[in-house]
Structure 1
Amino acid sequence: MTTTTLNPPVGRSVLPFIDRQHPDRPLEVNFYRPARHQPNDPVVVVQHGMLRNGDDYRDFWIEAAEKHNLLIVAPTFPDEPFPKAEGYNNGLLVAEDGAIAPRAQWLYAVPARVLEALRAGGIIDQPLIRIFGHSAGGQFVHRMLATGGGETYAAAMASNPGWYTLPTLERRFPEGLDGLDLDQDALARWLAYPMIIFAGDRDIVTDDPNLPAQPEALAQGPHRYGRAHFMLEFAQAEAARLGAACNWRLITVAGIGHDGAAMSRAAAAYWFEGRIPSIEELKPQDVAVA
């Protein structure tokens, strides 16, 4: 098979990408490449929300990209080839008949294969790579880590997910990890990964039509901010039960609700400046985007 290569130009761009495991499901990748970015300078992979708007999420990171010399890589999973939560947030793991797809077909490896194509194109070599996902993208990121996809990333942040896959082998995926042929060692590796749950403390709306409302989600809390706390507390209890480490952190972004632009700016400042900006810095004239 011919190696896929990606060579985005300087500035904003969008390039088609055919994943070798899903040749009939075309993707796009939105990029921002600063003029001074070199192959071992930092990379941030950004996972969009339910609107499948990788271009917006790429743009949310441009100011930080220029300030900190970051290559922004935003794989975009269009609705038609990747429909509903099952086709994106849940990684195409579960077929309509309830069967679990072969591991090679799970979507959570797609961002890593995009990075392979960038290496093949000479754009990156061995940089530190971080991954950020907001809303549906936050669901994607933490489920990627849960199923063993964290090796590529020096840091990972799940921002304002609507609900969570819990670190337990006793509940069926996507509520837990049962059915995925994972064992307690895999569970311990996920708990040991320094995952950041990034939560806006105003993400407390309970009547949002896009807030998951199935019984398993409601059992985690009435809103996204409450569910973030539930997730961390569940993980800490499970780690204690297993005698394992839990290296997760919940970081609160004060004054911010379900706002992908503001949470992206907060994530960039946290990672590259060691701070969470004030609400005045985070919300300059932006409209919230899911």
Structure 2
Amino acid sequence: MPLDPPLAEALARPGRAAIRFTDEVGDPTRPITLHTYRPQAHRPGNPVVIVQHGMARNGDEYRDFWVEAADRHGLLIVAPTFSAELYPGAELYNNGHVLDGDGSLRPEAARGYKVPARVFAALRDAGVTSRQKAWIFGHSAGGQFLHRLLSTEPHDVFEAATVGNPGWYTLPTLDRPFPEGLGGIGATEANLLALLAYPMTVLAGEADTETSGPSLPSQPAAIAQGPHRFARARHYFEAGKAEAARRGVPFGWQLVTVPHIGHDGAAMSRVAASLWFDGRMPPVETLAEWGRAKAGAL
């Protein structure tokens, strides 16, 4: 997995870096950029947070949303960035490039959903981290990417996973075709049971209620999940709860709603950081201030 510059060299010094990562095991024709931040206090035993950007393919911005938390808690931030030039459209990023343009199934090893685990393995191989697991957060298109990753990939590399404000969801069923459901892509009953049991957090901004716009999916399958992102988050959570109850299996998800916050990548990043590393939701007064500012990106 060639890197330019090598990870150990690029992350030897505190601060921001941009590192070219070529996934030789997956799709070597489409390298990605790792936008990273290492605070002065980071040591190999400190947490690593992988951040999946939104539709603007702005991993540098999403990395920067985590800098304050990184400085306070000694976190290493890594934002794998899938450029619009090499990964155009939702199919190649949000949907993991599972299917070719003709609808045929691509090799499993070539899926974009493999990338975060391979990036974390490269960090471990380089001695940058000694952690066994990473935290992973995805917002908007990155939330679509992340919950589909969790639907199809092993979870053992993740300490925790938080999915923020996706535009729509892949429902936990094998009876509907991907990406509406998990049918037709080789997902198994074991994948579905592991997804339902996993302690995934669905983080939903209570003010993420726009019913139209260029970034809100509007295909019939998405509209069927609700008129806006906040409704669709509830629909997804309830679908998972109902599926687990129907099967009589454990259900590990939690739905956390965030007062005052809409479709704001900066605010939702700060909320996720606070829940994970401070153990609490930010004060409602702070959330209201962030909501008024509306400073985040997609």
Tell me, yes or no, whether TM beats 0.5.
yes
Is residue 2:143 matched to residue 1:133? Answer: no
1:197–1:226 Cα change, 3 Å: same
Unaligned runs of 5+ in 2: none
Is residue 2:87 matched to residue 1:82? Answer: yes
For 2:17, the equivalent position in structure 1 comes to 13
State the distance in 2 between where 1:225 and 1:186 align.
Answer: 26
State the distance in 1 between where 2:28 and 2:190 align.
Answer: 33
Amino acid of the structure 2 residue aligned with 1:256: I
For 2:221, the equivalent position in structure 1 comes to 216
Is residue 2:296 matched to residue 1:288? Answer: yes
8 Å CA contact 1:194–1:248 kept in 2: the answer is: yes
1:1-290 aligned within 5 A: 5-7=6-8, 8=11, 9-20=13-24, 21-282=26-287, 283=290, 285=293, 287-290=295-298
CA deviations over 1:69-128 (Å, ceiling 9, x no partner): 100010000001111000100000011111111111111110111112212221112254
1:36 Cα deviation from its structure 2 partner: 2.0
1:286 Cα deviation from its structure 2 partner: 5.6
1:13 Cα deviation from its structure 2 partner: 1.1
Aligned with 1:154: secondary structure? strand
**TM-score computed with the length of structure 1 as normaliser:** 0.96
Amino acid of the structure 1 residue aligned with 2:21: F
CA deviations over 1:198-224 (Å, ceiling 9, x no partner): 000000000122100000000000000
**TM-score computed with the length of structure 2 as normaliser:** 0.93
Range with greater deviation from structure 2 (117-126 or 226-235): 117-126
CA deviations over 1:104-153 (Å, ceiling 9, x no partner): 11111101111122122211122541100000000011000000242210
State the distance in 1 between where 2:272 and 2:185 align.
Answer: 31
Identical amino acids, percent of aligned pairs: 52
Amino acid of the structure 1 residue aligned with 2:15: G
1:186 Cα deviation from its structure 2 partner: 1.6
Please list every run of at least 4 consecutive aligned residues from structure 1 whose deviation after the TM superposition is greater than 2 angstroms. Answer: 1-5, 278-282
Question: How big is the alpha-carbon RMSD for the aligned residues of Structure 1 and Structure 2?
Answer: 1.6
8 Å CA contact 2:96–2:113 kept in 1: the answer is: yes
State the distance in 2 between where 1:111 and 1:183 align.
Answer: 21
CA deviations over 1:182-203 (Å, ceiling 9, x no partner): 2222211110000000000000
1:280 Cα deviation from its structure 2 partner: 4.2
